[in-house]
Amino acid sequence: LTVVLPSAINLSRCSGHFGVVRLCRERSTGNFYAAKFVKTRRCWGSRLGLQRAQVEREVAILRQLDHPNIMQLHDLFASRAEVVLVLELISGGELFDFIAEKEMLSEEEAIEFLGQILSGVEYLHARLIAHFDLKPENIMLQEKDVPKPRIKIIDFGLAQQLEDGITFKSLCGTPQYIGTGLAHPWGWGQDPQARREGGGRMVLPL
């Protein structure tokens, strides 16, 4: 892979607390991808970087996924201090920004976008995978200047592979998009009303 300057194409999410995203090109094909460089902790007591197990969990989930509305993992490189996820290039920006620029969507456009989001979520849940951080900032467009933009669900850093019949107990996600009923010790999956509330907060911008 050849790393290209990020400014060569519009990548709206170029950095985070423990990593950076750069545009890269595969030498053998000339295809462009987004390379996500993630710093990992070198030792157990270190606070710099993500725990290796957390990155490995994200990679294990991404490797299972093959859906038109979900970001694809193309390749993976790893060293002791860093993991590089070579991801599908998604250059259309965030759905939230797209809506803000247009000021409002037609009913037809809103139905189309919502249908794509639900298709991706249904695919995940059928495989007992919970995203746990689904919000407008994690819903992007493959391309923006096309008649019918394609939705892409991204960022599986908090995603979990659930087990059938076992309640998952953990408080995670972005606070403003978590249903109030989920902030209780009985675990995820036991309060459908709370899940609907969190989902409602996410789709309100549509």
Each residue's pLDDT tens digit, 38-81: 888 665 555 666 788 889 999 999 999 999 999 999 999 998 88
Distance CA 187, CA 168 (A): 6
Q: Which residues contact 124 (CB under 8 A, 6 or more apart)?
A: 65, 70, 130, 131, 153, 159
Measure the CA–CA gap between 149 and 12, rounded to whole angstroms: 16
Q: Over the stretch 87-100, which tens digit does the pLDDT of each residue have? A: 999 999 999 899 88
CB 154 within 8 A of CB 58: no
Going from the N-terminus, what domains does the chain have, and what CATH number goes with each? 2-88 (3.30.200.20), 95-203 (1.10.510.10)
Q: Which of 44, 50, 45 is nearest to 19 (CA)?
A: 50
Q: Reduced to 3 DSSP states, what percent helix, strand and coil does the chain have, rounded to the nearest 5?
A: 30, 25, 45
Task: State residue 44's pLDDT score.
Answer: 59
Q: Of 97, 133, 145, 155, which one is the catalytic site residue?
A: 133
Q: What percent of the chain has pLDDT over 70?
A: 68
- Is 133 a residue of the active site? yes
- In the chain, how long is the greatest CA-to-CA distance? 52
Q: Which residue shows structure tokens 């462009």? A: 32
- How wide is the angle at C-alpha 112 spanned by C-alphas 34 and 161, nearest 5°? 55
Report the alpha-carbon distance of residue 49 to residue 111 in Å, rounded. 39
Per-residue confidence band for 128, with pLDDT thresholds at 50, 70 and 90: very high
Looking at every residue in the chain, the average pLDDT score rounds to: 79
Q: For residue 20, what pLDDT is reported?
A: 86
pLDDT for residue 12: 42
